Amino acid sequence: MFVKSTFPKNLTLDGLRLVIDCGNGAAYKVGPEVLEELGAEVTAIGVEPDGENINLECGALHPHELQTVVGSAAPTPESRSTAMPIGPSSSMRTARWSTATR
């Protein structure tokens, strides 16, 4: 898979807990799958596309559910949150929130 081939070979996501909001878009299946294959523990939301619900109450324009999921995770001293764009329509201004825990 191309996405995985761009990830540095000497790194893994082992030990990371990530929350990804796929916005019911095209990456709803491959996004979480790639992150899991790279070693992360993934919680995915916005993964029930029906052809009409892209970004409906989820995704970059509606980060509230993602913030709720991230906020309900048990924090650890190493926990941190970061913004990262997911998908072709994202920008840093409308980035989805994810959490990474080492």
Check if CATH label 3.40.50.10680 holds for domain 2-100.
no
Beta bridge partners of 45: 21
Of 4-13, 43-52, 92-101, where does the model show the most confidence?
Answer: 43-52
Is 40 within 8 Å of 65 (Cβ atoms)? Answer: no
What is the pTM for the complete model shown? 0.71
For the chain, which residues make up each domain, given as ranges? 2-100
Query: To which H or E segment does residue 70 belong?
Result: helix 64-72
Report the C-alpha gap between 72 and 37 in whole angstroms: 24
pLDDT tens figures, 52-101: 999 999 988 888 888 888 888 766 666 666 555 455 554 433 334 444 44
Q: What is the largest CA-CA distance in the chain?
A: 40
